[in-house]
Amino acid sequence: MKKKLLGIFLAATMAVGMLAGCGGAASDSSDSSDTASTTEDSGDSGASGDTISIGFAQVGHESDWRTASTKSCQDVFSEANGYDLSFVDCDNDSAAQLEAVRSFIEQDVDYIIIDPIVSTGWDTVLTECEDAGIPVIVIDRTIEDSDKYTAWVGSNFKTEGLAAGEWLKAYAESKGISEINYLTIAGSTGASAQIGRSEGFDEIAEANGWNKLDEQDGDFTEDGGQSIMESYCKSYEGKFNVVVCQNDNEAFGAMTAMDNAGITYGLDGDVILISFDACTAGLEQVKARKITADFECNPLAAPFVEEVIKKLEAGESVEKEIFMEEHWYALTDAIVDFSIDGEAQTMTEVTDDVIDAQY
C-alpha cells in the first residue's frame, strides 16, 4: 500500500468528538504517547508492526440501530484483534464527517470506514483518500456521486420499503381493509436509507392507489418521531389508518404521541404501525402488539468489513458490493404471504428467543 511521510495528528486535531475507549486505542499496547505528532517512514502506522490502523467516521448515535453498528465495529476492530481503531461520532453533521475523513488521511491510517450521513458530496474527499493510497470501505448508507471506494457493505433499503409495502397490501387484504391513508415519518432527509425506504414503499402505494397524506423528516430519532406524530395527530385527526416510521426509535416516539392523543395502534388498534430496523427494543414492541410489522436492517457490517480487509491484506480482489441478510418480523396474527418482484418472502415470528438473539 502506498504510504506518505505524514505526521500523525491524533485527538488534539479532531474537531469532532471521539468516544472514550476507541480513539485512544492507537497507543495502548507498547507506545505510551497518544497525543504526540510523530513522523514514520514505514508502512505501519500503528503502535506495533502488525497492527492495522482504521479510521471509522460513524454517522452519530441517533438510534438503537446506530448503537449496535458502533458496537459491532468496536468489537471486531479491537486492539485484541490487532487493530488500532480511531472512531469518530459525527453527530449527524456532514461537514464534521468530511473533516473526520480528512483527519484520518492526516493520520495516515491503513483503511477508512465511512457510513455516509448523506449520499452526495463525496467525490472530492474520496479522491483525496485515493491520492493518499488509503482504501475506503463504505458501510450501511450508500454514496451516489462517486465510485472511488473499494467496497460497500450494507442493505438494500429500497427492498426494505418494497417489503413493507407488499406486506401491507397482503395484510390489509387479509383484514378486509380496502382503503389505505398513510403517514410517513421519514429518516434523515438525503440519507440513502430514507431515500430507498420511501421509494420502495411509495412504489407499492402508487401501484395500489393508496393515499399518502404526508411525509416529514423525523431524523431517525425518538424525539423526532414524537414531534412529527404530535403534529400529524392534530393535522390529520381521524384521517389516517397507517403510520410508517422509517426506524424503531421514530416508532417509539410516534407511539407516545398516539398514546397522548388517545389513538390506538398495533395489532389491536385502529392504526397499523410499520417500522424498520427490528432492533431488540423494536421487536419487544412487536411482541407487545404495538408495532404491527418490523422490517429488519442488519447493523452488523463489521465482520464483513473485516473479511474485506483480510482479503486486501492478502492482495486478493474483493466484491464491490456486499449485501447482508435481513428478516421481516411480526406476530402470527400479522404473518401473511407476500412476494417482492415475484420472489416469495418468509416472515419471522417474534418470540422471546428471537428477541434475545437480536442486537
Residues 294-323 touching ligand GYE, rule: CB under 6 A, are 297
Q: How many residues bind ligand GYE (CB under 6 A)?
A: 14
Dist. CA 290–CA 338, nearest whole Å: 22
Binding of ligand GYE by 215 (CB under 6 A): no
Contact string (CB under 6 A) for ligand GYE, positions 178-197, x = contact: ---------x---x-x----
Comparing CB distances to ligand GYE, the nearer of 65 and 122 is 65
Dist. CA 86–CA 165, nearest whole Å: 39
Comparing CB distances to ligand GYE, the nearer of 128 and 326 is 326
Binding of ligand GYE by 140 (CB under 6 A): yes
Dist. CA 321–CA 246, nearest whole Å: 23
Minimum Å gap between C-beta 206 and ligand GYE is 23
Dist. CA 119–CA 190, nearest whole Å: 6
Q: Which stretch binds ligand GYE (CB under 6 A): 4-12, 16-24, 60-68, 161-169?
A: 60-68
Query: Which residue pairs from 129-135 have beta carbons closer than 8 angstroms and sit at least 24 positions apart in sequence?
Result: 129/101, 129/105, 132/2, 132/4, 132/105, 132/108, 133/1, 133/2, 133/3, 133/4, 134/1, 134/104, 134/105, 134/108, 134/109, 134/110, 135/1, 135/111, 135/312
Minimum Å gap between C-beta 215 and ligand GYE is 16
DSSP state, residue 118: S
CA dihedral 232, 237, 242, 243 (to 10 degrees): 20
Residue for grid cell 464534521: 96
Interface residue with ligand GYE among 87, 109, 141, 146 (CB under 6 A) is 141
Interface residue with ligand GYE among 10, 26, 57, 62 (CB under 6 A) is 62
Comparing CB distances to ligand GYE, the nearer of 217 and 277 is 277
Q: Site residues (CB under 6 A) for ligand GYE?
A: 62-63, 65-66, 140-141, 187, 191, 193, 220, 247, 276-277, 297
